């Protein structure tokens, strides 16, 4: 568990030039921590981390933060991003992840001027993402991920794919029952049409 002061220090007070991206939950900043103690360090000392800071105005807030801690705190797999810690102070909700050097798959596919990925790398990414999903679907407590899209597939320095953002994930049904939800969640255009239509 990190303190807010530690994460403020690790990211240089959440300086704009440390920002890696922004999503519905909030902004993500690059920080540096000691490899063993996870104490904040100077830039380029220790290991880089990604710090996701909730936006106080975000409606996703606490529920998604709890979901993320619940799932990533429980599961470890080479194709799931690693949660290193979290912080909850007053209305500040933060998550600390391993830093993924190549960013999101979305950036490689849609950013203007991005170098096209080779077919070999594309297959590697697709297989890695599929392995992450297969692990979730076959784990002891089956997990329904519910937000599978290119911006949630992160890439390390060797283009190994890791699923991130478990804010919308939920435990699947047990004993072969089907799962029906009344609250359809996910990103429009990425969710299966039968799920959008029926909630199943």
Annotated binding site for ATP: 53
Q: How far apart are CA 24 and CA 124, in angstroms?
A: 28
Binding residues: 53
Distance set, CA 132 to CA 37, 70, 101, 119, 137 (Å): 28, 17, 19, 20, 9
Q: Alpha-carbon torsion 98, 99, 104, 105, what sign?
A: negative
Number of H helices, E strands in the chain: 5, 10
Please enumerate in sequence order all residues whose Cβ is within 8 A of that of 155, keeping only pairs 6 or more positions apart, or say none. Answer: 100, 101, 102, 103, 104, 105, 108, 125, 161, 162
**Catalytically annotated residues:** 147
Instruction: Spell out the residues 6+ positions from residue 181 whose beta carbon is closer than 8 angstroms to its own.
Output: 199
């Amino acid at each position: 568990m990190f303190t807010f002061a530690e994460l403020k220090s690790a990211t240089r007070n959440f300086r704009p030039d440390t920002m890696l991206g922004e999503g519905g939950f909030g902004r993500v900043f690059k920080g540096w921590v000691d490899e063993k103690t996870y104490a904040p360090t100077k830039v380029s000392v220790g290991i880089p981390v990604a710090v996701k800071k909730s936006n106080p105005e975000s409606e996703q807030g606490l529920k998604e933060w709890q979901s993320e801690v619940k799932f990533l705190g429980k599961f470890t797999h080479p194709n799931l991003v690693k949660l290193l810690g979290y912080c909850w102070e007053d209305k500040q909700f933060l998550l600390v992840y391993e830093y993924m050097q190549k960013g999101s798959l979305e950036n490689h596919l849609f950013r203007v001027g991005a170098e096209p990925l080779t077919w070999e790398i594309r297959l590697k990414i697709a297989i890695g993402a599929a392995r992450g999903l297969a692990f979730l679907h076959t784990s002891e407590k089956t997990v329904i991920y519910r937000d599978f899209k290119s911006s949630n597939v992160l890439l390390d320095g060797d283009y190994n794919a890791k699923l991130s953002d478990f804010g919308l994930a939920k435990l699947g049904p047990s004993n072969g029952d089907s799962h029906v939800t009344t609250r359809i969640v996910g990103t429009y255009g990425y969710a299966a049409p039968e799920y959008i239509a029926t909630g199943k």
